[in-house]
Amino acid sequence: MKVSLVVAAAGESRRFGEAKITCEILGRPLIFYTLLPFVRTGRIDEIIVATRKELFRNVRKAKAYLGNIPMKIVEGGCHREESVKKGLEKARGDIILVHDGARPNVSEALINRILDLLETKEAVVPAINPVETTLKEGSSGIERIHREQVLLVQTPQGFRREILEKAFEMAGERLSEFSDESTLLIEILGVIPDFIEGDRENLKITYRSDIEIFKNYMMGEVRSGFGYDLHRLEEGRKLYLGGELIETTYGAVAHSDGDTLLHSIIDAMLGASCLGDIGKLFPDTSLEFKGISSLYLLDRTNKLLEENGFWVLNIDSTVLLEKPLISPYIDKMKGNISGVLGIPTDRISIKGKRGEGIGAVGERKAIVAMTNVMVARAEAKYII
Ligand code: MG
């Protein structure tokens, strides 16, 4: 049985003020946190995100953090159920899970329970009772309802494909009346799903303050790291900086490609995460690293950080080089680093400084780079 996850993420977020699903938390968009628990169960075969055209790029960015899971991004509709319908049309699963794009705190346990039950049931929907006193406007004014009689319906909602397709087909023009699939099944097909106990922590981010509540669940922390590197310069050698070959006759003396800037970034990353230093990780006695591109070493370092629950938030580097000016290369360097680390270039800063003709830098005997990085560390459950 194939399982497709259809995510409704085309809402306008009017009560929130900006697009919720791409709002960043610890440097990653909200939709990343929404999708991650599903990926972590290992039981989802594909993800279909129905969202607005202008958010495609940002959703794709989130995908980069989610490993190799197949993912389609489709344009959503003007109301929720139209978006789900469009997602469903692209889904190939026998089982369809429908989830809100702005529910980032769903537990793997809830997803697993729903999928287990779908082996015998055709529709499984999580819900909770309200904790507040519950009233409704009735014909004779305000009436009290017993809390136990009220269900607050959550997602993910799980269905056998046929029943969901049938409900969407038969709803026709009435589709826009519905704000979730469970009510669609009840009112259109007369089918009552199996309601199971939902999860109070399965927040739906609606107001800005909800983000703060979610952050409290995350227990993330931010750390800083510092890196420094120096290489001797010699005439007739090549000079690599930030993965770019610099046009000059003075190059770095090194075991690897001698990319001083990347070495300082690597050391700063390792420092922030307390995972050692570049010399320990990539010893210059090892043949494996002789002449190697430091972009490869940066990639290895980044993977090590990710395995330990860290990711880079931003980088600020200064390169001390007498000649030539590095400014013409900076955009390309940022592009190289961004490509490896998967962070946008507006989180990478590289600055050039000269040595004013004095000292090792000024006399063109050395190149120096210094870097400060910030990394985020999230709880284990936020690591793929
Ligand atoms: Mg070095």
The answer to whether position 212 is within a domain reads no
Domain that holds residue 321: 218-382
Residues 239 and 284 in one domain: yes
- Ligand 1 centroid–CA 356 distance in Å is 23
- Ligand 1 centroid–CA 246 distance in Å is 16
37-59 burial code (b ≥16 CB/10 A, e <16): bbbbeebbbbbbbbbbeebeebb
Structure-model confidence comparison of residues 68 and 349, the more confident one: 349
- Looking at residue 287, its pLDDT comes to 85
**pLDDT at residue 12 is higher than 90:** no
CA angle 162, 155, 129 (to 5 degrees): 120
The answer to whether position 213 is within a domain reads no
Structure tokens at 235: 């005439």
Residues 237 and 186 in one domain: no
- Ligand 1 centroid–CA 156 distance in Å is 49
- Ligand 1 centroid–CA 251 distance in Å is 13
Quick: pLDDT tens for 306-324: 888 899 999 999 999 999 9
Beta bridge partners of 240: 245
- Ligand 1 centroid–CA 354 distance in Å is 19
- Looking at residue 164, its pLDDT comes to 97
CATH code for the domain of 20: 3.90.550.10
- Ligand 1 centroid–CA 255 distance in Å is 8
Quick: pLDDT tens for 313-365: 999 999 999 999 999 999 999 999 999 998 889 999 999 999 999 999 999 99
- Ligand 1 centroid–CA 328 distance in Å is 22
Quick: pLDDT tens for 99-123: 999 999 999 999 999 999 999 999 9
- Ligand 1 centroid–CA 227 distance in Å is 10
pLDDT band for position 65 (50/70/90)?
confident
What's the whole-number average pLDDT of the chain? 94
Of 150, 177, 207, the residue that ends a domain is: 207
- Ligand 1 centroid–CA 137 distance in Å is 71
Pick from 13-27, 81-95, 170-184, 241-255: least confident: 13-27
The answer to whether position 169 is within a domain reads yes
- Ligand 1 centroid–CA 252 distance in Å is 9
- Ligand 1 centroid–CA 363 distance in Å is 19
- Ligand 1 centroid–CA 138 distance in Å is 75
Task: Calculate the alpha carbon distances from 318 to 238, 260, 273 in Å.
Answer: 20, 11, 21
